[in-house]
Each structure stands twice: as C-alpha cells, then as structure tokens.
Amino acid sequence: MRVLVYSDDAGTREKVRLAIGRRPAADVPLVEIVECATQPAVLKYLDSGDIDVAVLDGEAAPAGGMGISRQAKDEVHNCPPILLIIARRDDRWLANWSRADAVVAQPLDPMAVAETVADLMRRRLSSSGSPRPAQPVS
C-alpha cells in the first residue's frame, strides 16, 4: 500500500517514515512511502488515486496539513484516510474541522504513529477490497 507523508520539514518526514517502517503491523501489507514537501505534489498524488493513506503535517508551511486535509476531503474522489499530525493536543478541534480521520500530537510517539497508520490501512482495505499495484505519477 502507498502511504503519502507530507511535511515541509525533512526531519518530520523521516520520523514518520521510520515510525511506519516497511509494515506498521503484521496484519497489513507492506508499505511504499511517498514523500511530499509541497501542497501541489500532495494534491497531484491524492488526485491520482494511487495513495491508500495520507499522513499530513498540520504545522507545514506555507500550506498546512489541516487545510490540505479539508481540501482533499472536499475535492478528491474516494479520498484516502488521512492522519493529521498536530502540534498540541488542544488543536484537536482544528483537526475535526479538517475532517482528518485520525490525529497524533507532537512529539511523535513512533508506536502511536504505526498503530494509527495500520488502522487507517485496515480501513482502506475494507473499503476498497485490496491494494492496487503502484502506478507512477507523472
């Protein structure tokens, strides 16, 4: 399954990528990570239909993950489940506004990230049947 990880911060993307690993849980398929640092790249991948789960950094700049999540939920057909990374637990109300499917707060707990991504992968599998073969995005 393809998991998109969006942040303008390479360090945040690396933390998420390491937390997810090749397989975040024994009962889910292997993961291919797609990293993005810009809003246009995220929307291009989401529009392609080749992303199974998206992890968006709510603190990214200039386009934050909350706004991208809201836009994707409004505009992307069959939008994949979205995990939103928030700076503070008190930002959960903003995550609700963004219509994200799940939330984790900074500092990132690798176990919580892996468990949450695995749960969203299960949700995607149950709604779509099986993972699709990876297709290049041009």
Give percent of the chain above pLDDT 70.
93
- Distance of alpha carbon 66 from the chain centroid: 11
**How much is the average pLDDT of 79-88?**
94
**How much is the average pLDDT of 81-87?**
95
C-beta of residue 22 within 8 angstroms of C-beta of residue 31: yes
pTM of the model: 0.90
CA angle 62, 66, 67 (to 5 degrees): 65
* Model pLDDT, residue 121: 98
Q: Where are the domains of the chain?
A: 2-128
Tokens (6 digits) for 109: 């707990």
**Per residue in 40-69, is it b (16+ CB within 10 Å) or e — as a string?**
eebbebbeeebbbbbbbbbbbeebbbbbbb
CATH 3.40.50.2300 fits 2-128, yes or no: yes
Give percent of the chain above pLDDT 90.
83
